[in-house]
Amino acid sequence: MSNDTFKTPLYLPSQAAAETEATITKWNVSAGDAFKKGQILGEIESAKTAFDFEAPCDGTVVKMLSVEGDTISFEEPVMEIETSDVSMKNAIPAAQAANAAPPKAAPRPSAGSTASAAATVRAVNILGLGGYLPDRVVTNKELLREFPAVTEEYIFGVTGIRERRWAKDGEKPSDMAFQASSEAIRRSGLDPKDIGGIIVSTETPDVSMPSTACILQDMLGLRGIPSFDLKAACSGWLYGLSVAKGLILAGVADDILVTGVEMQSQLLDKTDMGTYFLFGDGAGAAVVSGKRPGHAMREAILKADSKGLPLAKRSVPGYKIPIGLENLNPWIRLDGHALFRFATGGFATIIQDVVAKSGWNPQDVGWVVPHQANARILKAAAQKSGVPFERFYINIDRVGNTSSASIPLAMLDLQKDLRPGDRLVLCSVGAGVTIAALTIEW
């Protein structure tokens, strides 16, 4: 074997003549790993057999070109390696060697081929979650100083909230986003430099421009990657996950950070009982990957219904009330009764639809992780959805409504109780009215 090394693609060994593809069930190596000839690089399944993928030479993995769960043609390389074994210079996939005829144009897929085509779509997974809640705990008792005739139990009965977290003076949305994002990256086992894109969902950015995502990029010490804010109110984090999946499948990046952050405590009118007790501050984040194993993102549904435009609104952007604009009604305003009806129906319908789209039955759902809007809304939605309320994960009593940060914060609390294979439904209804749902197989 020569001492000169070179890079070359590595293919799966072809099996029976009639087989054209196989599925990678497990990788035993990753980028940077050295291996010896005969070492088991991975475990593979084809239509007729399961086999170990043995290294044909000594070498080092330069780049993984496929992930666990991918279904790969025998004519596609699964990894790039570096080796000094000259016998590998002319290595070609067995399927290509057996087929000397010129390649023909692939036929257009028919409607009946949709399932098989979907099986070859690149898997996209959630790797790690992170969250941040401010230190300051604000109880109902503290807020009821503005409403001496109202009791703590009444507020809890109407909202399901006993306390929430509010940011301290001088704290910014980007500060909270940085804390949650750093934890998500750390839990993913990645280095910040591995992140290939940043999406921040927020209705309370630091400033109108630049985006909070670009500010977060700077705080993480990153440059040269796509970073942008997304506005979909309480549904924003789920919108962000779906956009991240699309960017990964489009080849824009392999690992994308999706962060939801809201600082609503300074946007509440102390005379408005409909909003004053509902909202808290916080941030939640996840790293989404197209090349690393994790918790599989399955089906998503995103909607918006403009009939709900008047139900939840605010006229002035940002996380503070600008001086001199008090007369422009800059506070968060909700049409409580109408929003209750709209949200209850929206939650129930989107849960039913995404469960059916995933090929599941309601009894298959281990947990529903909803946007923590209001406990009464979620109880009413559970009655209509077909999934018992006992399987709805609720933490609104401790954190309040943190808008687009609420689902990742709830998942962070829940994950200690999750087991591999658990089926989750994430769902939200927000201002717009935006509606979103995503299924995940843990």
Which residues does residue 313 pair with via DSSP β-bridges, in sequence order?
333
Which residues does residue 6 pair with via DSSP β-bridges, in sequence order?
83
Cβ neighbours around 108 below 10 Å, total: 6
What is the C-alpha to C-alpha distance for residues 19 and 73, in angstroms, rounded to an integer?
A: 9
Q: What is the DSSP letter of 163?
A: E
* Helix count and strand count (H, E) for the chain: 12, 21
What is the C-alpha to C-alpha distance for residues 430 and 346, in angstroms, rounded to an integer?
A: 10
Collapsing DSSP states into helix, strand and coil, what is residue 291? coil
Q: What is the DSSP letter of 98?
A: H
Torsion sign (Cα): 169, 174, 178, 184: positive
What is the C-alpha to C-alpha distance for residues 376 and 380, in angstroms, rounded to an integer?
A: 6
Say which residues have a Cβ less than 8 Å from residue 110's Cβ, sequence separation at least 6. none
> Could you tell me the strand order of the sheet in which 77-83 lies?
6-11, 77-83, 59-64, 34-35
| Helix 406-414 with 236-249: angle, nearest 10 deg | 80
Phi/psi of residue 427, each to 5°?
Answer: -150, 155
- The yes-or-no answer on residue 234 being catalytic is yes
**Neighbour-count burial of 103, counting CB atoms closer than 10 A to its CB (0-12 exposed, 13-18 middle, 19+ buried):** exposed
Collapsing DSSP states into helix, strand and coil, what is residue 348? helix
If residue 74 lies in a helix (H) or strand (E), which one and from where to where? none
What is the C-alpha to C-alpha distance for residues 213 and 184, in angstroms, rounded to an integer?
A: 15
Torsion sign (Cα): 243, 244, 246, 250: positive
Are 343 and 429 in contact, with CB atoms under 8 Å apart? yes
Collapsing DSSP states into helix, strand and coil, what is residue 423? strand
Per DSSP bridges, beta strands 40-46 and 21-27 are antiparallel
Which of the following is catalytic: 234, 295, 374, 427?
234
Which of the following is catalytic: 125, 371, 374, 427?
371
The total number of residues shown for the chain amounts to 442
What is the C-alpha to C-alpha distance for residues 56 and 48, in angstroms, rounded to an integer?
A: 22
- The yes-or-no answer on residue 401 being catalytic is yes
Which residues are catalytic, by number?
234, 371, 401
